[in-house]
Structure 1
Amino acid sequence: MKDPSDEFYDRPDVKARDPRLESQLYGKQMSSGINFEKYDDIPVETSGNNVPEAITNFDDSALDPLLKSNVKMANYTNPTPVQRNSIAIVTAGRDLMACAQTGSGKTAAFLLPILSQNFKDGAPDLPPSAGGGYGGRGRMVYPVSLILAPTRELALQIYEETRKFAYRSWVRPCVVYGGTPMIDQKRDLERGCELLVATPGRLVDLIERGSISLSMIKYLVLDEADRMLDMGFEPQIRRIVQQEDMPETRQTLMFSATFPRNIQMLARDFLHDYIFLAVGRVGATSENITQTVVYVEEDEKRSLLLDLLHSDPTIEHEGHPTPNLTLVFVETKKNADMLCIFLQNNRFPATSIHGDRTQREREFALACFKSGRTPVLVATAVAARGLDIPNVNHVINFDLPTDIDDYVHRIGRTGRAGNTGKATAFFSQARTATLSRSSTRF
């Protein structure tokens, strides 16, 4: 039952408050929200027909009152440039191609206007083919919004943010991804799903099994679109968008840190009369990151890594109240495990994450890293895109990537939300040519 003093007491579409759920969703953020005031000087460019004027703050925007309440509980204070513009563009019903530096608040930039419109529209009527709606074993679900993401970790992160913003509403979010038993995800879907976050491969599997219909999709989001193409998901994406039952009248949003030709072609095929939004220099690194390149022979890398870690006193003592987190990138899964063991043997609390670890192991490693229990995380590229981990102070490229865009996304794990960070890259004679080619892009 809703309390008569509840500001949404007269709105039947808004559920009663749940203190336990509020603690779960917002508890860790209530005392340390993100302040985006440092973003004010970042350049923003828009192009397209009749570009809507950007919002200035959340309170005065056209967002639904329930969403504004959830935004406050999530402790979002000022919208970032990509959020200011995206909220206005999506609220106006326009398609969007957004390029923004990593760590710029892209997830909220598409979730807030989509959920706001969901709240205002109310729950849609299911088609007659739904057979009476949700709740039965084997029932097909008809999500209204679909968000595609390249990795399991990013999909989970988007899902957790959606839970915060969809609190007390009729919108029930679900997430599906590979690497975990499908039966558990199907059971969750059968409880109802209005907003679906998915990796392309698992979504195709569930569509083929008759668990999901895209016939009621109003909003389609492709997050980290460049990464999805890099990972070879274009055939699955094109099948999902062009060959299933998704309506062509939907609103489509694409978010990417870079804008290469293959992304331009995808935008041409999927978007209609879209607005192009560029925040900062497309494909560039954040100016909040101090970058250092160190020449080191291969057999001396480990020794240098220990020196760098010893220089940060907060890492050496497990349980430090405000640990500075260090993310170390390597090229191979084997190296990730070996380097992690090396650090542990040298009394540095470290963990690792890569594609061969089970989903449960990966989630546990990320949780330990975020909490500071293991403030050093050794990772392959699986963790390089999209993950928003607070307090990452230092990114170390133990193995320098061969592609400049990979470098940009790796070091984008620090210097997020207007904060400062540092990035150190190791390179040897074998990597000199790679660095020389890459440096022309900065």
Structure 2
Amino acid sequence: MSGRDVIGIAKTGSGKTAAFIWPMLVHIMDQPELKKGDGPVGLIVAPTRELCQQIYFECKRFGKVYGLRSVCCYGGGNMHEQQKGLSDGCEIVVATPGRIIDHVKKKNTNLLRVTYLVFDEADRMFEMGFEYQVRSIANHVRPDRQTLLFSATFRKRIERLARDILTDPVRIIQGDVGEANADVTQIVEVFKTADMKWKWLLRRIIPFTSEGSLLVFVTKKANAEELATNLINEGHDVALIHGDMQQYDRNNVITNFKKKQVATLVATDVAARGLDIPLIRNVINYDVARDIDTHTHRIGRTGRAGQKGTAYTLVTSKDTYFSGDLVRNLEGAGQRVPDDLLQLALQNSKFRKSRYKHGSGKQISNFKTRDRPGFGATASSTTSTMASFRAAAAAGVMGGRASSMKDYFKNQYKSNFVQSSEPAAASTWNSGDGFKHPNSKRKKKSRWDS
């Protein structure tokens, strides 16, 4: 609200969308009205089509009260309709990086009036290879803009890139960076083979759908189609969504799932980020995610806006590389770590070394400490001296402390310092091999001496 650039990092489902839409409406209301040929005042860039549509609907709902117009631009949508909306004039544009650049190149709009720039799911855009497009968009917007970057995860490498397009940003963090939503109860099931996952799903799908909508994540498109087909053959009401589908079909699937016309949705990671479907009560990671950040976004599709949800992750013996990250994720969210998952993770040498390094490794039993001998003293004499000191000190702090210290130093002096045998050097001392007499000459040792 004060006009500062912001890096916003928060857990999934915490209201990041509202955090930049409401200040944007206030910002736009303070700007002069648009003239013919002017571009938008607020520009929101998101990585996926579904996330763009979701943000667009929120902007349209809140902006309608103030008479603000919004346009959604994304690849796969109708180019003519998007061009007409931009030409008619709009205060807010929600777009994917590539499509907004296409419209600017075709002179359908311009970025001269943009003073409020938002990059939502910024880390995802960098991971998808949109770094060049993000920098290009930022460089074509006036320098006195206000820029905001929001995400649930934000790696150091991406943060350095983000700081290049921000001016003295304020970093706002809710919880730990990349933290899983604590409102989601995570349950991990470890299986020996992949076939056991299918049997587990068949037993649980009816109880899950009776609680609410069910979202099942699969890593590959071919596996998603196979799983959806198998569930349909078993008589379950299932819809499918992945990146190779036409945008019209993808929109219909999301709409039907939101209206609860379909109880179960099988999806790839295209539905992992940003989608807000309140009816989802259970999420199943049928295949583990490619990385822990994607896992965090997956389970964040439930337990949104303070509601509770449950996420099940099905792990097989081949997923040792991911088990270590999953253990850390569960521990960071205060969730229970199953013993079989921990044993599977310990098979990964990298996780095992890092865990031992942080003090959680093997415990050495029957390890006894040894007192250090004093200079010129034998181990037995020092041990007896220390034993007398401990016995005296055990008498207590009050009263016995001075006498015990006195006895200790007296015994230490007697054991370490020996009177000289030479009358002329009676005032000197010799403590053995460790300390030589000052007048004694040091003989150079021959290389042949043993």
What's the TM-score, normalizing by structure 1? 0.72
Tell me if 1:410 matches 2:302. no
Q: One-letter code of the match for 1:191?
A: D
The SS at the match of 2:94 is strand
- Report deviation, 1:122: 4.4
Q: Identify if the C-alpha distance between structure 1 residues 313 and 413 changes in structure 2 by more than 3 Å, giving closer, same or farther.
A: closer
Q: Unpaired segments of 5 or more residues in structure 1? A: 1-90, 127-132, 135-140, 315-322
Q: Identify if the C-alpha distance between structure 1 residues 303 and 266 changes in structure 2 by more than 3 Å, giving closer, same or farther.
A: same
- Report deviation, 1:161: 0.1
Q: Deviations over 1:258-309 (max 9, x none)?
A: 1212321133211112211001222011111111111121122222111121
The SS at the match of 2:65 is coil
The SS at the match of 1:167 is helix
Distance (whole Å) between structure 2 residues aligned to residue 312 and residue 270 of structure 1: 45
Match of 1:304 in 2: 200
Match of 2:92 in 1: 195
Match of 1:286 in 2: 181
> Which of the pair has more CA radius of gyration?
2
Q: Counterparts of 1:13-28 in structure 2 under 5 Å?
A: none
- Report deviation, 1:206: 1.2
Tell me if 1:434 matches 2:322. yes
- Report deviation, 1:375: 1.4
- Report deviation, 1:97: 0.6
The SS at the match of 2:266 is strand
1:123, 1:170 within 8 Å by CA — same for their partners in 2?
no
1:349, 1:373 within 8 Å by CA — same for their partners in 2?
no
Q: Identify if the C-alpha distance between structure 1 residues 273 and 378 changes in structure 2 by more than 3 Å, giving closer, same or farther.
A: same
Match of 1:340 in 2: 228
Higher relative contact order (CA 8 A, sep 6+): 1
Distance (whole Å) between structure 1 residues aligned to residue 237 and residue 251 of structure 2: 17
Tell me if 1:273 matches 2:168. yes
- Report deviation, 1:184: 2.2
2:243, 2:270 within 8 Å by CA — same for their partners in 1?
yes
What's the TM-score, normalizing by structure 2? 0.71
Q: How many positions carry a matched residue from both structures?
A: 329
Q: Percent identity?
A: 43
The SS at the match of 1:291 is strand
Match of 1:158 in 2: 55
Q: Deviations over 1:133-170 (max 9, x none)?
A: 15xxxxxx511110000000000000000011101324
Q: Counterparts of 1:97-246 in structure 2 under 5 Å?
A: 97-124=7-34, 126=35, 133=36, 141-242=38-139, 244=140, 246=141
- Report deviation, 1:361: 0.6
2:208, 2:282 within 8 Å by CA — same for their partners in 1?
no
Q: One-letter code of the match for 1:300?
A: M
After superposing the two structures, state which structure 1 stretch, 204-213 or 147-156, moved more.
204-213
Match of 1:352 in 2: 240
Tell me if 1:262 matches 2:157. yes
- Report deviation, 1:252: 0.6
Distance (whole Å) between structure 1 residues aligned to residue 314 and residue 55 of structure 2: 32
- Report deviation, 1:113: 0.9
Tell me if 1:396 matches 2:284. yes
Match of 1:67 in 2: none
Distance (whole Å) between structure 2 residues aligned to residue 196 and residue 424 of structure 1: 37
Q: Looking at secondary structure, tell me which structure has more helix per residue.
A: 2
- Report deviation, 1:342: 1.3
Distance (whole Å) between structure 2 residues aligned to residue 101 and residue 169 of structure 1: 30
1:295, 1:426 within 8 Å by CA — same for their partners in 2?
yes
1:403, 1:438 within 8 Å by CA — same for their partners in 2?
no
